[in-house]
Amino acid sequence: MNEKTKIILIADDVKLFQIFLKQSLTDDDYELLFVRTGKEALDTVMRKNVDLLILDLELPDINGVEVLRRIRQITYDMQSVVQLDNLPVIMVTAYPQKEAEIEAKRLGVVNFLPKPIEKKEIKRIVKETLQSQKEQYLKRKLILCVDSEPRVQKFYEGVLETEKYNVTCVSNGLEALEAVEFKNPDLIIIELNLPEMSGLEFLQALKESKKDIPVIVVTSTIDKKTREEVDKIGVYKYIAKPFRLEELKKVLNKF
């Protein structure tokens, strides 16, 4: 989670409650999205990078607990492709049900709130929930991945982004130097064959900057001279393409 405007999805078919939330949260830096059904909520979660879901228990088509269950299932099913954080959910209802509350808490809701809700209370809970998510995000180490191929960047984002690591990708050495300056990564994974500034030139510039950031070179087979230059500069690990994912993860587990 970075400093972008936080996206809050509100799934509730009661117009007055939608207006209440709009008035309650309008002074803060949030983008509010409103849907009326469980299906719309699920579709939006799949299409948008939502930061928080405020979910009514009673929806016209799907019970709120079932919506939450399906969201958690989607997150679980995607683990083989991409590690997703559990979406924080605040569940609200005008008709509290103990069994529904127990199940919702089992599925990891942040809060289960009875309506009506005071304006100050909902503002406080939303702010604290998003702040907690931000703190968890900031605890993770940042991996800078440098590769000119978009498919490789997506691969890195998909398999390396976890509760332990944040991942940011750039396409060339110049962008990598800028990322080093402003984002201060904990680890760099870089291809040597890059446009504008090669990976080797980047490594030389990084060494001159005196920044002590471990580097993993992941590249296609290179000539002996280039390999010697890379070794002279000093990198943490050299991995030749094609490589096994387990090999890369084994190296990352040491950080």
pLDDT of residue 84: 56
pLDDT in tens, 98-130: 999 999 998 889 999 999 999 999 999 999 998
Over residues 46-72, the mean pLDDT reads 94
pLDDT in tens, 75-93: 766 654 444 567 999 999 9
Q: Which residue has the higher pLDDT, 140 or 195?
A: 195
Residue 187 bridge partners (DSSP) = 143
The answer to whether residue 251 scores a pLDDT higher than 90 is no
pLDDT of residue 9: 97
pLDDT of residue 222: 72
Burial of 50 (0-12, 13-18, 19+ CB in 10 A): buried
pLDDT of residue 2: 43
Long-range contacts of 193-200 (CB under 8 A, 24+ apart): 193/148, 193/219, 193/220, 194/146, 194/147, 194/148, 195/148, 195/171, 196/172, 197/172, 197/173, 198/173, 199/146, 199/173, 200/226, 200/229, 200/230, 200/233
Over residues 157-174, the mean pLDDT reads 85
Let me know: does 20 contact 120? Beta carbons within 8 Å: no
pLDDT in tens, 1-54: 445 689 999 999 999 999 999 999 986 779 999 999 999 999 999 888 899 999
Structural domains present in the chain: 6-138 (3.40.50.2300), 140-252 (3.40.50.2300)
Q: Which residue has the higher pLDDT, 153 or 223?
A: 153
pLDDT of residue 187: 94
Structural tokens at position 61:
């088509």
On average, the pLDDT of the chain sits at 87
pLDDT of residue 236: 87
Residue 229 bridge partners (DSSP) = none
Q: Which among 30, 81, 235 has a CA at the least distance from the CA of 22?
A: 30
3-class secondary-structure state, position 29? coil
Q: What angle do CA 248, 2, 78 make, to 5 degrees?
A: 50
pLDDT of residue 110: 92
pLDDT in tens, 184-232: 899 999 999 898 898 989 999 999 988 889 999 988 767 788 888 888 8
The answer to whether residue 140 scores a pLDDT higher than 60 is yes
Question: Would you list the DSSP string of 41-96?
Answer: HHHHHHHS--SEEEEES--SSS-HHHHHHHHHHHHHHGGGT---PPPPEEEEESS-
pTM above 0.85, yes or no: no
Other Cβ atoms less than 10 A from the Cβ of 199: the count is 27
pLDDT of residue 97: 92
The answer to whether residue 165 scores a pLDDT higher than 60 is yes
Residues 6+ positions from 69 with CB-CB distance below 8 Å? 107
